[in-house]
A and B are shown apart, each in its own frame.
Chain A
Amino acid sequence: MDFNDSQQEAAFRKEARDFLEANAEKRSIISDKPNDKSPQIAVAGAPETVKGGKEAAQEALERAKVWQKKKAEAGFAAILWPKEFGGYGGSPIQQVIYSQEEHDYLVPSGYFEIGIGMLGPTMMVWGKDEDKKRYLPKMITGEEIWCQLFSEPSAGSDLAGIKMKAEKDGDEWVLNGQKVWTSGAHFADYGMIVARSDPSALKHKGLTYFYLDMKTPGIEVRPIKQISGTSNFNEVFFNDVRIPDSQRLGGEGEGWKVALTTLMNERLAVGDPPGLDFDQIFEATKELEVEDGLAIKNSEVRQKMADWYVQSRGLQYTKFRSITALSKGQTPGPELSISKLVTASKMQDVSAYALELMDSSGMVHHDQNPVLKNLFQNGYFFSAAMRIAGGTDEVLRNIIAERVLGLPQDERADKKVPFNELPSGKN
């Protein structure tokens, strides 16, 4: 057992580190920057719009694009992608090494991951050659941003239950309906969408998958104000949106299969959100006072901290086990499936407990007079969303139970019934 890089890995790590050192600023445990939104960087989505309205958001977007261009020029923006599309043509272990290094730096993130991590790979599998040539390189450089139009008001955890209508009209398709929880739709240039082309088929059979220009007439994007007060997710309305059949990915009725390609890449795209963890509350307990002195000296506090430490490091070492497999050129086991499930709840517990330690000053969530840079106040809200986004805690437990442990699927009422005959409640 050792934690050493192989010679090639060490060389790549140096390359990554040199690039980051020259181009980015190091992150501190509890950031000194009052506007550092690091705990709010979404786990499976774009960053929340920066407080300060549209202008600030636009500025942040421009900054992100500048960074992405640099990163792409250095080759680090899409390490796993083949060179012909502007990728690095690298290995999973190199992606891991770069992410490890970038994790220590304050860099914009959350704008390009869905495209590069999930949608690009979907186009590589299902798209035509001219599409790949046209769209993939600009996805990497950040010149064009993509969003994923999957969830609907009545189809969240049960994603295949989508109702967005896709009706064929000659060489065109006409889309009508609503998508929701679309990260970054308000700044995205393109999107990928699953819609129902045959409501009389079985639920998973009647779907078709497309890509589209977000400026296509009939598309309306409305931001959703979230628990944190900011907006990252959107509702997207489709009103007689006409797109050519050439923008279809996969066959008619094959949409679910294509969507699975996208979703299978989700785990890889969903990085490690920097931010709120054991290290932050450990620092905080050295500053905060409780009834008998510094919080770090209180035995109840210490007992709780130990739990978070073993969760935090347990996850880190679990990742090391997966990386070991990658480094040997093997496929990692299912152990990393626990990651978001543990991280989100830990963040929520850590935030809530840190607010407790602040006592009444934990009530304050003020930009100009922040308590410990608002880290835990922000985390308190962000973690509630994180337990839902990218698969709820409950869905993740089902996935572990069924796919990892091999337990039987739940009884389902929707297996043998045409979609339009399924009971659907109010929606």
Chain B
Amino acid sequence: MNFDFSDDQKLLRDQARKFLFDKCDRKSVRTILDDDQLHYHKELWSQISEMGWTGTAIPEEYGGLGLGMLELCVIAEELGRSLAPTPFSSSIYLFAEFIKNYGSEDQKKKFLPLIASGEKIGTFALSETNGTPKPSNVKTEYSSEKIDGYKSPVSDGETADYLIIAANSDNKGNRNSLSLYIVDLHQDGVSKTSLETIDPTRPACSIKFENVKAELLGEQGMAWDMTENIFNRAAVLYSFEQVGGAQVSLDEAKKYSMERFAFGRQIGSFQALKHKMADMYVKIELARSNAYYGAWALSTDSNELPVAAAGARVSASDAFNYAAKENIQIHGGVGFTWDYDCHLFYRRSKLLSLNIGSTRQWKENLISNLEKRNIV
């Protein structure tokens, strides 16, 4: 049994951690948090693109490094730890994966090199209304090579150059009437409205489409199936980000509890706090192990992926949400000030557990995939 990352992958992790520690400190995260006009950390983005992170899992023939999904998992964990304010997840976990898995040869040649180099940014849009997206909620329409409709919220929509969008290719309003299209966002008829989010370092916007040119991605009528598959792939990567964020939340809670004294002793010596931190550790280890399993399924194209991805996602969301909120609690009063960093993790944890479907939704996915598999 070899249920671990390789030495090379661990080396990549150490390098990424060191790099982000230097270049993506909390001060730089806060420049994005504090400035409404800044949607991502441009300098950091160009640096990580230069190092090839954006092309990690994109084949060399399309301008990437041609490494595998495990390497991407390693990088995801580090991005999660550092709270990197970049559109990495939208552009790489979603847009690039859609093109890589479903694009025509021409589309791969056209888009992947631009995404791998970081020169262009892509994202994905499904949701139009509040609540769980479902086929009947998609009103955006495609006809005569043009898109009309509305999407909100679109993660990283403000910065994105390209968008993959789910739209109706006929009027039936069911699962099989939806197709995916690629849209160049730099054209007339696209109007964006910025939206504030619970984590301003991960911005979103709403986008209106009026008679906007679009090209089909993958097979017509297969939007839902393709989206489910790409969301499963992305869920594993998100879960690594979440595990990274959860671990730092625990580390910072621990550090504070050993520096802060009350009643003449370190507050970290009180069992009430120790037990909280032990519970954080338990959830994080479970999440890490579930994420590893997801990574294995993702990297081997296993038919376990739907179950493994949902398990990773549910476990990681639970761990990060818990660690982030209890980190505030352990900090006491300063924990809910703007100056202390606890809220950065609290914001990020909730945002990450919502942006490709809520935990509720993923729990449902998990059980329905277990039923489909019919063996546990």
Q: Residues on A close to B: CB < 8 A? A: 1-5, 9, 278-279, 282, 296, 299, 302-303, 305-307, 309-311, 313-318, 320-321, 323-325, 327, 335, 338, 341-342, 394, 396-398, 400-402, 404-411
The answer, yes or no, to whether B366 is at the interface (CB within 8 Å) is: yes
User: Main SS of chain B's interface residues?
Assistant: helix
Docked pose: A405 CA to B250 CA in angstroms? 9
Q: Which of B136-144, B155-163, B261-269 contacts A (4 or more CB under 8 A)?
A: B261-269
B355 to chain A: closest CB distance in Å? Answer: 19
B236-280 CB mask vs A (1 if < 8 Å, else 0) is 000000000000001000100110000001101111001101110
Docked pose: A410 CA to B371 CA in angstroms? 47
> Are A327 and B1 interface neighbours, CB within 8 A?
yes
B74 to chain A: closest CB distance in Å? Answer: 12
Given contacts A306-B314, A310-B318, A411-B269, contact A397 B278 (CB under 8 A): yes
In chain B, what residue has the closest Cβ to A325?
B4
A99 to chain B: closest CB distance in Å? Answer: 14
> Are B278 and A303 interface neighbours, CB within 8 A?
no
Given contacts A5-B1, A278-B376, A410-B271, contact A315 B286 (CB under 8 A): yes
B336-366 CB mask vs A (1 if < 8 Å, else 0) is 0000000000000000000000001011101
Docked pose: A71 CA to B33 CA in angstroms? 64
> Are A1 and B376 interface neighbours, CB within 8 A?
no
> Are A341 and B314 interface neighbours, CB within 8 A?
no
> Are A401 and B274 interface neighbours, CB within 8 A?
yes
How many residues of B sit at the interface, in one of the four size bands?
A: 35 or more
> Are A307 and B289 interface neighbours, CB within 8 A?
no
Question: Chain B contacts of A410 at CB under 8 A?
Answer: 269-271, 274
Interchain residue pairs with CB less than 8 A apart (14): A1-B3, A299-B364, A302-B368, A306-B314, A320-B292, A321-B292, A327-B1, A327-B2, A397-B279, A400-B281, A402-B274, A407-B254, A407-B269, A407-B277
The answer, yes or no, to whether B296 is at the interface (CB within 8 Å) is: yes
> Are B286 and A398 interface neighbours, CB within 8 A?
no
Question: Chain A contacts of B277 at CB under 8 A?
Answer: 401, 405, 407
Docked pose: A20 CA to B315 CA in angstroms? 35
The answer, yes or no, to whether B83 is at the interface (CB within 8 Å) is: no
Question: Chain A contacts of B367 at CB under 8 A?
Answer: 296, 302, 305-306, 309
The answer, yes or no, to whether B200 is at the interface (CB within 8 Å) is: no
> Are B289 and A321 interface neighbours, CB within 8 A?
yes
Question: Chain B contacts of A398 at CB under 8 A?
Answer: 271, 274-275, 278
The answer, yes or no, to whether B311 is at the interface (CB within 8 Å) is: yes
Docked pose: A406 CA to B277 CA in angstroms? 11
> Are B269 and A323 interface neighbours, CB within 8 A?
no
The answer, yes or no, to whether B334 is at the interface (CB within 8 Å) is: no
> Are B292 and A303 interface neighbours, CB within 8 A?
no
Q: Residues on B close to A: CB < 8 A? A: 1-5, 70, 250, 254, 257-258, 265-266, 268-271, 274-275, 277-279, 281-282, 285-290, 292-293, 295-296, 299-300, 310-311, 314-315, 318, 360, 362-364, 366-368, 370-371, 376
> Are A2 and B254 interface neighbours, CB within 8 A?
no
> Are B290 and A313 interface neighbours, CB within 8 A?
yes
Question: Chain B contacts of A314 at CB under 8 A?
Answer: 285-287, 289-290, 311, 315
Residue from B292, B295, B363, B371 in contact with A307 in the complex, judged by beta carbons closer than 8 Å: B363
Question: Chain B contacts of A324 at CB under 8 A?
Answer: 1-4
In chain B, what residue has the closest Cβ to A320?
B3
A64 to chain B: closest CB distance in Å? Answer: 30
Residue from B3, B290, B292, B318 in contact with A323 in the complex, judged by beta carbons closer than 8 Å: B3
B312 to chain A: closest CB distance in Å? Answer: 8
A106 to chain B: closest CB distance in Å? Answer: 20
Q: List 3 tightest A-B contacts by C-beta distance, closest first.
A: A314-B286, A306-B363, A401-B274
Docked pose: A9 CA to B286 CA in angstroms? 26
Docked pose: A341 CA to B279 CA in angstroms? 10
Residue from A279, A311, A320, A321 in contact with B376 in the complex, judged by beta carbons closer than 8 Å: A279
User: Main SS of chain A's interface residues?
Assistant: helix
> Are A317 and B2 interface neighbours, CB within 8 A?
no
> Are B376 and A407 interface neighbours, CB within 8 A?
no
> Are B258 and A313 interface neighbours, CB within 8 A?
no
Docked pose: A302 CA to B363 CA in angstroms? 7
> Are B296 and A1 interface neighbours, CB within 8 A?
yes
In chain B, what residue has the closest Cβ to A330?
B4
> Are B268 and A408 interface neighbours, CB within 8 A?
yes
Question: Chain B contacts of A9 at CB under 8 A?
Answer: 1
A271 to chain B: closest CB distance in Å? Answer: 18
Question: Chain B contacts of A303 at CB under 8 A?
Answer: 360, 363-364
Question: Chain B contacts of A406 at CB under 8 A?
Answer: 254
> Are B258 and A317 interface neighbours, CB within 8 A?
no
Question: Chain B contacts of A401 at CB under 8 A?
Answer: 274-275, 277-278
Docked pose: A341 CA to B285 CA in angstroms? 13
Residue from A282, A310, A341, A405 in contact with B311 in the complex, judged by beta carbons closer than 8 Å: A310
> Are B275 and A397 interface neighbours, CB within 8 A?
yes
B376 to chain A: closest CB distance in Å? Answer: 5
Question: Chain B contacts of A316 at CB under 8 A?
Answer: 289
A197 to chain B: closest CB distance in Å? Answer: 32
> Are A309 and B289 interface neighbours, CB within 8 A?
no
Docked pose: A410 CA to B299 CA in angstroms? 45
Given contacts A318-B289, A397-B279, contact A405 B254 (CB under 8 A): yes
Residue from A307, A309, A335 in contact with B285 in the complex, judged by beta carbons closer than 8 Å: A335
Docked pose: A313 CA to B290 CA in angstroms? 7
> Are A317 and B269 interface neighbours, CB within 8 A?
no
> Are B364 and A309 interface neighbours, CB within 8 A?
no
Given contacts A1-B299, A302-B363, contact A408 B286 (CB under 8 A): no
> Are A3 and B289 interface neighbours, CB within 8 A?
no
A375 to chain B: closest CB distance in Å? Answer: 16
Given contacts A314-B287, A314-B290, A398-B274, contact A2 B1 (CB under 8 A): yes
Docked pose: A341 CA to B281 CA in angstroms? 12
Question: Chain A contacts of B266 at CB under 8 A?
Answer: 408
Question: Chain B contacts of A325 at CB under 8 A?
Answer: 4
B228 to chain A: closest CB distance in Å? Answer: 17
> Are A338 and B286 interface neighbours, CB within 8 A?
yes
Docked pose: A163 CA to B270 CA in angstroms? 28
> Are B281 and A321 interface neighbours, CB within 8 A?
no
Given contacts A310-B315, A321-B292, A394-B271, contact A3 B376 (CB under 8 A): no
Residue from A1, A296, A305, A320 in contact with B289 in the complex, judged by beta carbons closer than 8 Å: A320
